[in-house]
Amino acid sequence: MSIFFYFKLSGLFASFRKVDINETYITYQNPPIPTLIGMLGAINGYKGLMEVQKGKLPEYYEKFIGLYIGILPSFLINENKFPNKTILTYNNSTGLASSKGNTLQIKEQILIKPEWYIFVYDPNDLESTKLLRENLRRNTCVYVPYLGKNEFKAEISEFNNLEEHLKKEVKDIKDINSIEGIISMLSYKIITKSRDEMPIDEAKKIKFMYLLENLPIKLSNNSDRQFSETFAFLKGQVVNININKLNQYDSYKLFNYREAFNNGENIWISLLRVS
pLDDT in tens, 218-243: 988 776 788 898 888 887 777 667 66
Other Cβ atoms closer than 10 A to 187: 21
User: What per-residue confidence (pLDDT) applies to 31?
Assistant: 96
Q: Using the CB atoms, write b or e for 163-186: b if 16+ within 10 Å.
A: eebeeebbeebeeeeebebbbbbb
How confident is the prediction for the chain on average, in pLDDT? Answer: 83
Residue 94's alpha-carbon distances to 21, 50, 88, 100, in angstroms, are: 22, 21, 18, 11
- Parent domain of 11: 3-273
pLDDT in tens, 35-92: 999 999 999 999 877 777 777 888 999 999 999 999 999 988 888 888 889 998 887 7
Query: In this structure, what are the phi and psi dihedrals at residue 163, rounded to the nearest 5 degrees?
Result: -55, -30
Do 18 and 179 meet the contact criterion of CB atoms below 8 Å apart?
no
Q: Which of 102, 111, 83 is nearest to 18 (CA)?
A: 111
Question: Which residues have CB under 8 Å from 41's CB, separation 6+?
Answer: 48, 58, 59, 60, 61, 63, 64
User: What per-residue confidence (pLDDT) applies to 182?
Assistant: 85
SS3 147: coil
CATH code for position 63: 3.30.70.2660
pTM of the model: 0.88
Give the total number of structural domains in the chain. Answer: 1
pLDDT in tens, 89-120: 887 776 666 666 667 778 889 999 999 999 99
Whether the predicted pLDDT of 193 surpasses 60: no
